[in-house]
Amino acid sequence: MKDVPILFKEKADCCGCSACYAICPKDAINMVEDNEGFEYPKIDEEKCIICYQCVKVCPFKDIKLS
Ligand code: SF4
Ligand code: SF4
């Protein structure tokens, strides 16, 4: 059984494009503003069905699939 994906480890690994947010079939991703006003995706583990579409769509392909 895979785990809920980790979209990025550091903020530098995410450009905030929200492609993952847009593609998630379960609305499990919320874009959350940080204290500098940039939005980063946060996965709701309760809703996530671990389909990994968000990881596939992410332009930051150096993200490791765990
Ligand atoms: S793995 Fe699938 S369900 Fe979970 S956050 Fe990503 S796109 Fe949404
Ligand atoms: S698709 Fe990747 S770069 Fe774009 S917001 Fe999601 S995690 Fe960040």
Would you say residue 2 lies in a domain?
no
| 66 has a pLDDT exceeding 80 | no
| 62 has a pLDDT exceeding 70 | no
pLDDT, tens digit (0-9, with 9 covering 90-100), for 13-43? 999 999 999 999 999 999 999 999 999 999 9
Would you say residue 37 lies in a domain?
yes
pTM over 0.85: yes
Q: Is any atom of ligand 2 closer than 6 Å to the C-beta of 19?
A: yes
Would you say residue 38 lies in a domain?
yes
Residue 63 main-chain phi, psi, to 5 deg: -65, 130
**Whole-number Å distance between alpha carbons of 39 and 28:** 15
Q: Is any atom of ligand 1 closer than 6 Å to the C-beta of 52?
A: yes
Q: Is any atom of ligand 2 closer than 6 Å to the C-beta of 17?
A: yes
Domain that holds residue 29: 11-57
With residue 5 as reference, give the H or E element that holds it: none
